[in-house]
Structure 1
């Protein structure tokens, strides 16, 4: 009853605001509430209002709807009825987008963001014909029942494909693409024509990492690579091709059994690497040995940052905090032989977690001690 009341109250207040609006122009319009297919008449009315006022940015976030049959269907026909094409930025969350393949009212779109959206497959296949000016495309938690073909496009420069079930392959033909975020969920990129790609964020979920890196060797301008490996991934051979212009590498160490040999082989592909950031460092003895190997291999390295806590980037401008998981003795190959211990009673600050206190009290110094004799010109910062 309370939820139904809140929804009716929200609708009533939005209607009141729109009735009082006397302006001739509207730049953007955003709805974010627990609305669904049952509210189609109201939502259609709001969308018509926004389009009639010449809104260039439209953001519809209908929270709480899990079933596809309950999701609100975006009224693309309103753009046809009004014969207006001022919309440049469209963002949909938990909606349905099913315009016909010959739909021509998205010609001004430069940004399209779809999260948990049911997308018509025929429309998706012709997306860059309908939206040939598209500069930024974000697909999150969208199910695609065929191949995902991105492009050909000369305008697209930002692409995000995250947690999408693609029952086929992904092909990218975007000659001016500069930024790519991809998580390898259920599929692999089989073709990339992205000669201007500069930055990539890869959140490995199910093991296609070597395939992705193979495609990246055809990206001569790639300078920044962010790898977040969450589950087991295939071994990367030592004969892997070279990423000649890679200058910055960020590694999120989220596995206890991370295959460090493969990571070292990635480093060997980047002879000009200058910056390296390692997140989620637990001070394990093998992580320390891994760090020593990196300092020996990356001869051009200028800075290395080791961070046992902080914030992880999770894609699409979202971050989540991690806590330090260091345990006393991690740095020793045989921690059971450690005699001196740190008592929880030694931690006088209740705001500092015990693991972080141990890191500050012992872990950081232990890592510094192990690294002090390594000959390197890089500045090593241990947070």
Structure 2
């Protein structure tokens, strides 16, 4: 029964009221927020498993009233707490840590806080069952996070988004269950120090930071992107080989010349976007061979190019001097995918280089359209679905030219044991009259 209907029924039915007093899931939406006082007045606080409270900006809720709600709902036995405080407050509301005392906090497994201040004190000895911590636009310092981590031995995931007071983040050795750390747009952050022995995945987006991994670190998967005009690859090639010797998957980097080795890197995904000032629209895709050379264990290579920003020398205008890089073998490379394949001469050269030197290659996928929204814009006419995402005419035109480049320069070089997949523009939504170059 929806929360609103259950609350109304409790008001008119004594029998239902008795059951309502132990209703386990309190999920307050915009529609039911006006009933919070009424709902919690009739609830005993016993048996609550889930609290989901989102307070819209238009709702005027004073601190005393909010604390009264939380005091009723956050009771022993609660497992999931999600609270979104009003975003437009001049001073962020503080989450009352005292509510976690007396056993109320030790049953919580998932804690998600948005737009508030969270100040775990020294000696914080609660949240012992916490497995997932999500903080979004939360005021918390590195020391306060350390106070929180000091007893959260069960933590498996930590996600920190836009936490503006965070300068230093230290993940201690005793967080043995922690496997995922996600840090996005914590713009004051300068240092990330990781000692958790079983952390496998690190997702980072923000300003350059000093990244230090302990000797026991087992980070294998890195999704790494720098904000502003910083170059992720300049950082990646100078820092990551020494700081992440166990790295197996690297995503979201932006360019070349690698001075060291990624000895354990198995999956490399590179995203090139023109909204990043570090990426030149006239980029030399063939230079990515240096990344392959530095990754002797590489098995999967994915290149995604945002076609909105492409400016390049077309292979049709200058195909007489196709460059080759000799003496480079990529013995373990099995799968290659290029999203946003275009007529850039250097991209055709890169593809030919892979076909000539990846001796274990099993599949090559070339998609002539790259969808920056993450959807699939390719073939609604084939799958009988709704219309494809709208794409500028010049991108569609380039995609059709890219198909001819594949037929002219790529198809004849594909070994018989390699499966070639070429994804065309949607013949229904992306049809266009194209003249031969």
Quote how far apart the aligned CAs of 1:56 are.
0.8
The equivalent position to 2:411 in structure 1, one of 349, 364, 372, is: 372
The correspondence of residues 128-207 of structure 1 with structure 2, limited to 5 A, is 128-144=149-165, 146-152=167-173, 153-193=175-215, 195-205=217-227, 206-207=230-231
Give secondary structure in 1 for the equivalent of 2:225: strand
Contact 1:217 1:243 in 2 (8 A): no
Q: Give deviations 1:186-244, integer Å, cap 9, x for gaps.
A: 42313354643232211233235344454355656543322243xxx6x533x421333
The correspondence of residues 1-383 of structure 1 with structure 2, limited to 5 A, is 11-19=33-41, 24-35=46-57, 38-52=61-75, 54-62=77-85, 64-65=87-88, 69-80=90-101, 84-144=105-165, 146-152=167-173, 153-193=175-215, 195-205=217-227, 206-212=230-236, 214-216=239-241, 219=244, 221-229=246-254, 236-237=257-258, 239-244=259-264, 246-255=265-274, 256-258=281-283, 260=285, 263-280=288-305, 281=340, 283-285=342-344, 286-309=346-369, 320=374, 353=391, 354-355=393-394, 357-359=396-398, 361-376=400-415, 377-383=417-423
Quote how far apart the aligned CAs of 1:119 are.
0.4
Q: Give deviations 1:100-129, integer Å, cap 9, x for gaps.
A: 121111222111111111103421234421
Q: Give deviations 1:294-329, integer Å, cap 9, x for gaps.
A: 4444443333333354555xxxxxx655989xxxxx
Count matched residues.
339
Contact 1:184 1:207 in 2 (8 A): no
- Taking only aligned residues, the RMSD between alpha carbons, in angstroms, comes to 3.4
More displaced stretch, 153-162 vs 358-367: 358-367
Quote how far apart the aligned CAs of 1:136 are.
0.7
For the structure 1 residues 381 and 62, does the alpha-carbon distance in structure 2 shift closer, same or farther, using more than 3 Å as the test?
Answer: farther
Give secondary structure in 2 for the equivalent of 1:272: coil
- Rg comparison, structure with higher value: 2
Give secondary structure in 1 for the equivalent of 2:74: helix
Give TM-score, length-normalised by structure 2: 0.67
Quote how far apart the aligned CAs of 1:172 are.
1.1
For the structure 1 residues 21 and 297, does the alpha-carbon distance in structure 2 shift closer, same or farther, using more than 3 Å as the test?
Answer: farther
> 2:388, 2:97 → 1: CA distance?
55
Contact 1:184 1:203 in 2 (8 A): yes
Q: Give deviations 1:321-373, integer Å, cap 9, x for gaps.
A: 5989xxxxxxxxxxxxxxxxxxxxxxxx9975334542554332323432123
Aligned to 1:315: none
Structure 1 stretches lacking a partner, 5+ long? 1-6, 313-318, 325-348
> 2:217, 2:113 → 1: CA distance?
30
More displaced stretch, 85-94 vs 117-126: 117-126
Task: Compare the two structures and name the one with the higher strand fraction.
Answer: 1
For the structure 1 residues 95 and 301, does the alpha-carbon distance in structure 2 shift closer, same or farther, using more than 3 Å as the test?
Answer: farther
Contact 2:195 2:217 in 1 (8 A): no
Contact 2:368 2:399 in 1 (8 A): no
Give secondary structure in 1 for the equivalent of 2:353: helix
> 2:85, 2:348 → 1: CA distance?
47
